[in-house]
Amino acid sequence: MSVATSSRKASFDVVIIGAGFTGLYQLWSLRRLGLRVLAVDAASGVGGTWYWNCYPGARTDSPSNIYQYWFSDELLDEWNWTQRYAGQAESERYFNHVADRFELRKDIRLNTRVESAVWNEDASQWTLTTDQGDALEARFVVTALGPLSAPVVPPFVGHESFAGRMVHTARWPREGIDLKGKRVGVIGTGATGIQVIQSIAPEVAHLSVFQRTANYAVPMSNPSYGDAERAAIRAKYPQTREAIWTTFVGFDEQGETRPYFSIPVEERRAILERLWSDGSLRIWVAGFMEIFFDQAASDEISEFVREKIRVRIRDPKVAAKLVPQDHGFGTRRVPLENGYFEAYNRPNVDLIDLRETPIERITPKGILTSAGEIELDVIVLATGFDAGTGGLTGIDIRGRDGRSLRQEWKREVRTTMGLQIHGYPNLFTTSAPYAPAAAFCNAPTCLQHQVQWITDCIDHLVKNQRRVIEPAAETEQKWLAHHDELAAMTLVAKTKSWYTGARGYEGFEVA
Ligand code: NAP
């Protein structure tokens, strides 16, 4: 059945919010059930994360052979990845190809931000309003907002006074910014900051990096792919497809199964060296599980990584600041890097350790720390996202009896398996908090898994003429207790990061 995508008031079986990785697959999957489906996205193009994050150096950290869809053999056969780790432009091209290849665009409304979603109990349906004046009625709503889609601008004093240019990495202008010859400050040294810093250091006049927490990072090995490499990768697709559903976090390799301390120390070291030299995240997610649970193993593996970092930085004082000491390797999201640590050997790059000299305010000329003012032309905010929750609380979602998700989540974030929320019937969420592997996963694997579950669930409801599905309060409570019991066993839960929602400040703006 075709869907009119231009009318202001329209009715659908399902409205999907978001046309990124998840939204496109969800649209393809639900349309195959013969349902009337519309996907809506605030962006002017498809691709989600890979549309918005066009900052210098943006690139995936999961290899292209597992950062892709598995639903179509034709797609797997015809799409030619050019590198092990695809850059932003290549990833964005892939999503545009998928949208064209499967004729998804006719059911996608771009440049349209959903502002509210209100459940109508009598009609058992949702009404969504958009910034374009649409009123979209839908029996089911699927949010495909991505875990990292609400960029956070910390509440720096004097923010508005800056006379130069200030930009958040996730709102980088698509036409780019000419940084040549400029004095640039980057705040934040997470996966994004690392990519920006290593990319722009050679071209800017001066780079000041404002670091609050030092991060571990693994050197990326990123060979180009020609026909021979692609043929070899394609030949392994049946095994890869099988593996990603069964490994620890949706990568294609399982880690060491022997207990860490049962392995002789020289052999442990040799295994770590082998994993390290792979130039991938294997040392994190396909190495030793003990890094997530066992303090002694974490200490030893962390020290191995610290040694690798230290030797790359010429000035021992700078090295001491760049080597993480306050958390174990892998307890925060580990980024891959390309010359990140060497950037600090350049004469035009300074590291400002905010633990020693905190930012006091933004000034018209730059950034004032407790050690003095640093003059800048451009400030890059690589300050991360309101992870997991920000996409959903950015919409005024009203469930049963007018309850507000935004208000409820200010008190306590709750979901049932990250897929539904008590009090919000027929609302399905993806990449939401408390999913079994919402954040701690090769995102494409877990998101495809969630889409498949939602598709099967909606199919079941439609076939069995059940109008409404909603988790019971007790089910949700049991799930949360189970989740917390498992999470509490890990070192990840004891570490501040976006995984645990720790931001280090209250009150922020979404860019
Ligand atoms: P992030 O990991 O949350 O890092 C934000 C950075 O900003 C941190 O260094 C943080 O310091 C700093 N920061 C925040 N508020 C600050 C303040 N008020 N003052 C000073 N510093 C402040 O965000 P991200 O780097 O954008 O990465 C988020 C996630 O996106 C990644 O973990 C990854 O999952 C994904 N990502 C993936 C790729 C890839 O695949 N290659 C690339 C980029 C991002 P603290 O650490 O002290 O909080």
DSSP 136-162: EEEEEEEE---SS-SBEE---TTGGG-
Give the pLDDT confidence score for residue 3 in this predicted structure.
47
CA atoms within 13 A on the CB side of 80: 8
Residue 330 corresponds to which amino acid? Answer: G
What pLDDT was estimated at residue 1? 38
**pLDDT for res 2:** 38
Q: How far is the CA of 483 from the centre of ligand 1 (A)?
A: 24
Confidence of residue 508 (pLDDT cuts 50, 70, 90): low
For residue range 308-343, list pLDDT tens digits in order: 999 999 999 999 999 999 999 999 999 999 999 999
Coil, strand, or helix at residue 498? Answer: helix
Encoded tokens for 212: 């609050």
Query: Which atom of ligand 1 lies at the shortest distance from residue 59's CA?
Result: 41
- Residue from 212, 322, 367, 446 whose mutation best tests the ligand 1 pocket (most atoms within 8 A of CB): 212
- CA of 367 from ligand 1 middle (Å) equals 19
DSSP 172-199: --TT----TT-EEEEE--SHHHHHHHHH
Distance 308 CA to ligand 1 centre (A): 22
**pLDDT value, residue 500:** 84
Rounded-to-integer distance, Cα 271 and Cα 269, Å: 5
Nearest atom in ligand 1 to 194's CA: 25
Is pLDDT at 506 greater than 80 in this prediction?
no
pLDDT score at 340: 98
Give residue 245's pLDDT.
Answer: 92
Nearest residue (by CA) to ligand 1, atom 12, is: 188
> Taking residues 454-478, what's their average pLDDT?
98
Give nearest CA residue, ligand 1 atom 6: 188
Q: Is the pLDDT of residue 75 over 70?
A: yes
Place 126 in a pLDDT band, splitting at 50, 70 and 90. very high
From residue 427, alpha-carbon distances to 67, 76, 140, 203, 431 in Å are 27, 31, 6, 47, 13
Looking at residues 17-30, what average pLDDT do you find? 98
What pLDDT sits at residue 476? 98
Q: What percent of the chain has pLDDT over 70?
A: 97
d(CA 309, CA 320): 10
- What type of residue is 394? G
pLDDT digits (tens, 9 = 90+) for 272-319: 999 999 999 999 999 999 999 999 999 999 999 999 999 999 999 999
For 30-73, what is each residue's pLDDT tens digit?
A: 999 999 999 999 999 999 999 999 999 999 999 999 999 999 99
CA separation for the pair 254, 270 (Å, rounded): 17
> Which DSSP category does 34 fall into?
T
Which residues 6+ apart lie within 8 Å of 182 measured at CB?
A: 204, 205, 377, 378
Task: Give 388 Cα–ligand 1 centroid separation in angstroms.
Answer: 14
- Whose alpha carbon is nearest atom 27 of ligand 1? 191
List pLDDT tens digits, range 382-418.
999 999 999 999 999 999 999 999 999 999 999 999 9
pLDDT grade, residue 141 (50/70/90)? very high
Structure confidence at residue 7 (pLDDT) = 54
Mean pLDDT for all residues in the chain: 95
- Alpha-carbon distance of 69 to 43, in angstroms, equals 21
Over 60: is that where the pLDDT of 6 sits?
no
User: How far, in Å, CA of 283 to CA of 305, rounded?
Assistant: 10
Spatial separation of the C-alpha atoms in residues 397 and 15, rounded to whole Å:
14
pLDDT of residue 216: 98
Residues lining ligand 1, Cβ inside 6 A: 59-61, 148, 154, 187-193, 195, 210, 212-213, 333, 354, 382-384, 498, 504-505
Q: Are 38 and 112 within 8 A, CB to CB?
A: no
Helix (H) or strand (E) holding 99: helix 88-101
Q: What is the DSSP string of 217-250?
A: -EE----B--HHHHHHHHHTHHHHHHHHTTSTTS
Instruction: Give the residue among 336, 454, 360, 298 at the shortest CA–CA distance from 60.
Output: 336
Q: Residue 398's beta-bridge partner residues?
A: 118, 404
Which residue has a Cα nearest atom 20 of ligand 1? Answer: 212
439 falls in which pLDDT band (50, 70, 90)?
Answer: confident
106 Rama class: left (phi>0) / alpha (psi -120 to 50) / beta: alpha
Q: Is 136 exposed, middle or buried (0-12, 13-18, 19+ CB in 10 A)?
A: buried
How many Å apart are CA 303 and CA 137, to the nearest integer?
55
Residue pair 432/415 in contact (Cβ under 8 Å)? The answer is: yes
User: Cα–chain-centroid distance for residue 245?
Assistant: 19
For residue 369, what are the CA distances in angstroms to 255, 290, 344, 375? Answer: 44, 39, 20, 11
pLDDT at position 428: 98
**pLDDT attached to residue 342:** 98
Residue 192 CA, ligand 1 centroid: distance in Å: 6
Question: pTM, whole model, 2 decimals?
Answer: 0.96
CB burial class (10 A; 0-12, 13-18, 19+) of residue 330? buried
Confidence band for 190, pLDDT divided at 50, 70 and 90: very high
Query: pLDDT at residue 376 above 70?
Result: yes
d(CA 158, ligand 1 centre) in Å = 22
State the Cα–Cα distance between residues 379 and 207, nearest whole angstrom. Answer: 10
Q: Is the pLDDT of residue 505 over 70?
A: no
Give the phi and the psi of residue 179 in degrees, each rounded to 5. -100, 0
The band of 351, judged by pLDDT with boundaries at 50, 70 and 90, is very high
Interval between CA 188 and ligand 1 midpoint (Å)? 6
Residue 509 has pLDDT above 90, yes or no: no
Interval 196-254: pLDDT, tens: 999 999 999 999 999 999 999 999 999 999 999 999 999 999 999 999 999 988 999 88
Query: 103 Cβ partners below 8 Å, 6+ apart?
Result: none
Q: Count other Cβ atoms within 10 Å, centred on residue 486.
A: 11
Of 346, 353, 359, 384, the C-alpha closest to 510 is 384
Protein residue with its CA nearest to atom 3 in ligand 1: 384
- Report the atom number in ligand 1 closest to the C-alpha of 53: 43
